[in-house]
């Protein structure tokens, strides 16, 4: 049994990691940590009664000595906080999977610009792998430090990757119109998140100013030396979970080509990427509570604009289940363990 600890267990993402791991046959959650509990710790099911009869464990404040018995640590923490802890514990465990943004930018300047803070752990940054299994599976295998991608970026990168890999994104203009559920904003008291504000509403926010935007451009720059023109329009809709991105790729060239085959070739062996049938579209409900990314439409909406619709569960493939998938790959387990 591989022993797991989760730091930041009481957010929506932490809770979701616990859910997936309780179904995992080769690992065991042995430690949960979170600052929000009182000094003496609190039992998990006192905070989240849904875990009663499923997992009997205490949530405690983190102390480094607790790591003795731990193989893998999931960090489900705000940015900055994450690198503060990761830098201290990376020698003590076999694998760290960090769900914050702290290790997602190989170029720390981009990180520092968008997150307005200095990077404090460039050693681990160098070692870390950007954990998108469909793209970086080989690097993830045996890795010791995985930066789990952001939710929006997962939906966007998986939608754009086949075009990028085929050299088609060069000179293209990309507009992404994304809609997310409210859990993406985290489990925190905030006036903008209360039910009466979200219900019967759609709210665009942080247009072209969302910190997940440079994560996408940095990825393609790093991977393909590719610069392309990206506009990003995120919106919050009244659902608990899910992200669906309408990705409009506007080519200079008006000769419509059938890119469908490119997608089929690229993803045909992927267990968690599903292409919709020709003429069909993804719907959020199909990916809820799952690790799937559904890609669809995959056709032109006019002479020069190709539309990819990409749907994921923001807490699943956009966070927790992708983290588990990364762990499975890193440790040599069946990639699908606990995820179907």
Pairing type for strands 173-180 and 229-236 reads: parallel
**Distance of closest approach, residue 50 Cβ to a second copy, in angstroms:** 4
**Distance of closest approach, residue 44 Cβ to a second copy, in angstroms:** 13
Q: Which of 151, 266, 276, 293 is catalytic?
A: 151
| Tokens of residue 92, six digits | 């003590």
- C-beta neighbour count of 103 within 10 angstroms: 32
SS (H, E, C) 217-251: HHHHHHHHCCCCEEEEEEEECCCCCCEEEEEEEEC
Single out the residue of 30, 47, 57, 307 in contact with a second copy (rule: CB under 8 A). Answer: 307
Residue 302 binds a second copy, judged by CB under 8 A: yes
Single out the residue of 109, 116, 117, 190 in contact with a second copy (rule: CB under 8 A). Answer: 190
Site string for a second copy, 42-81 (x = CB under 8 A): ----x-xxx-xxx---------------------------
3-state secondary structure of 14: helix
Q: Residue written as tokens 């514990």? A: 89
Residue closer to a second copy, measured from CB, 65 or 195: 195
The DSSP annotation for 124-150 comes to HHHH-EE--HHHHHHHHTT-SEEEPPP
DSSP 153: H
Q: Which of residues 197-226 bind a second copy (CB under 8 A)?
A: 197-205, 207-208
Distance CA 113, CA 195 (A): 33
Q: Look up 151 and say whether it is catalytic.
A: yes
Q: Which of residues 232-291 bind a second copy (CB under 8 A)?
A: 233, 235, 237-242, 244, 246, 248, 250, 271-272, 274, 276-277, 280-290
Q: Which of residues 20-39 bind a second copy (CB under 8 A)?
A: 22-23
**Distance of closest approach, residue 106 Cβ to a second copy, in angstroms:** 24
Helix (H) or strand (E) holding 17: helix 12-22
Q: Which stretch binds a second copy (CB under 8 A): 84-92, 122-130, 177-185, 218-226?
A: 177-185
Contact 27, 1 (CB under 8 A): yes
**Distance of closest approach, residue 227 Cβ to a second copy, in angstroms:** 13
């Amino acid at each position: 049994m591989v022993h797991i600890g989760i730091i930041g267990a009481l957010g929506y993402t932490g809770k979701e990691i616990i859910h997936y791991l309780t179904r995992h046959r080769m690992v065991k959650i042995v430690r949960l940590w979170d600052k929000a509990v009182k000094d003496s710790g609190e039992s998990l099911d006192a905070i989240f009664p849904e875990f009663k009869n499923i997992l009997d464990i205490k949530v405690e404040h983190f102390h480094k000595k607790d790591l003795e018995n731990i193989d893998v640590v999931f960090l489900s923490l705000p940015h900055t906080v994450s690198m503060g802890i990761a830098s201290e514990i990376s020698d003590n465990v076999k694998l760290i999977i960090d769900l914050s943004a702290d290790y997602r930018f190989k170029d720390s300047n981009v990180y520092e610009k968008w997150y307005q803070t200095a990077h404090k752990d460039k050693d681990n940054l160098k070692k870390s792998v950007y954990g998108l299994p469909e793209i970086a599976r080989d690097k993830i295998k045996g890795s010791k430090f995985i930066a789990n991608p952001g939710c929006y970026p997962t939906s966007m990168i998986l939608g754009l990757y086949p075009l990028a890999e085929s050299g088609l994104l060069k000179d293209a203009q990309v507009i992404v119109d994304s809609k997310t559920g409210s859990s993406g904003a985290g489990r925190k008291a905030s006036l903008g998140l209360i039910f009466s504000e979200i219900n019967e509403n759609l709210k665009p926010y942080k247009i072209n100013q969302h910190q997940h935007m440079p994560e996408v451009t940095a990825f393609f720059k790093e991977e393909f030396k590719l610069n392309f023109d990206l506009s990003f329009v995120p919106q919050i809709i009244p659902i608990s979970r899910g992200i669906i991105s309408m990705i409009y790729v506007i080519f200079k060239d008006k000769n419509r080509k059938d890119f469908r085959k490119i997608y089929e070739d690229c993803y045909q062996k992927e267990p968690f990427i599903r292409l919709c049938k020709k003429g069909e579209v993804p719907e959020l409900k199909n990916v809820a509570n799952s690790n799937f990314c559904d890609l669809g439409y995959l056709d032109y909406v006019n002479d020069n604009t190709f539309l990819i619709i990409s749907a994921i569960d923001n807490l699943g493939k956009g966070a927790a289940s992708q983290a588990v998938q990364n762990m499975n790959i890193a440790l040599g387990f069946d990639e699908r363990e606990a995820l179907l």
